[in-house]
């Protein structure tokens, strides 16, 4: 299985980078992982709704151009919330059904453009709360790692 994480923005803090590297290393036992970082648009303070929409759309175009032929799972507040076992079952079921590429999409600070949400095969929510994209990348990778451990009936702390 190939897992691709398409994300807007770079990680600046070393501790996030270290966590991403650690989970990437752990995941290498289970899947081929690619992380695609796309540049974010600078958002002016007190930007109007129109400007914010334009920024989301520019980032959305970049995201859509980075998505290859894959099952797309967009991380979105309005998506479906799953527990870790359900996420594991979803990834496993996709593989059994013949899906060999899953792309998870993490938007920028303003969220995802409508075009990206429409392209998504599935919308996944980790919470109704908003998280910084750097932290969300770590949380997502940890949950994918946990999903594979669950699939393989390997121990993992609860």
Contact 101, 72 (CB under 8 A): no
pLDDT at 121: 98
14-38: pLDDT as tens digits: 999 999 999 999 999 999 999 999 9
- Closest C-alpha among 82, 80, 102, 79 to residue 27: 102
75: which strand partners? 124
- Closest C-alpha among 74, 70, 48, 71 to residue 60: 74
**pLDDT classification of 68: cutoffs 50, 70, 90:** confident
Strand 71-81 and strand 32-38: pairing? unpaired
94-148: pLDDT as tens digits: 999 999 999 999 999 899 999 999 999 999 999 999 888 899 999 999 999 999 9
- Closest C-alpha among 69, 131, 81 to residue 106: 131
Q: What is the rounded CA–CA span in Å between residue 70 and residue 75?
A: 15
The span from the first CA to the last CA of the chain, in angstroms, equals 25
Mean pLDDT of 52-60: 96
Q: What is the rounded CA–CA span in Å between residue 9 and residue 152?
A: 33
**pLDDT classification of 158: cutoffs 50, 70, 90:** low
């Amino acid at each position: 299985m190939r897992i691709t994480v398409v994300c807007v923005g770079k990680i600046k803090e070393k501790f996030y980078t270290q966590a991403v590297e650690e989970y990437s290393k752990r995941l290498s036992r289970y899947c081929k992982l690619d992380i695609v970082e796309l540049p974010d648009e600078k958002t002016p303070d007190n930007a109007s709704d129109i400007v914010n929409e334009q920024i989301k759309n520019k980032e959305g175009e970049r995201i859509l151009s980075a998505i290859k032929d894959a099952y797309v799972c967009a991380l979105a507040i309005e998506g479906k919330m799953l527990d870790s076992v359900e996420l594991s079952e979803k990834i496993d079921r996709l593989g059994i059904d013949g899906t060999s590429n899953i792309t998870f999409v993490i938007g920028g600070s303003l969220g995802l453009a409508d075009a990206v949400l429409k392209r998504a095969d599935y919308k996944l929510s980790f919470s109704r709360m908003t998280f910084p994209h750097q932290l969300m990348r770590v949380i997502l990778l940890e949950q994918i790692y946990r999903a594979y451990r669950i699939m393989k009936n390997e121990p993992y702390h609860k």
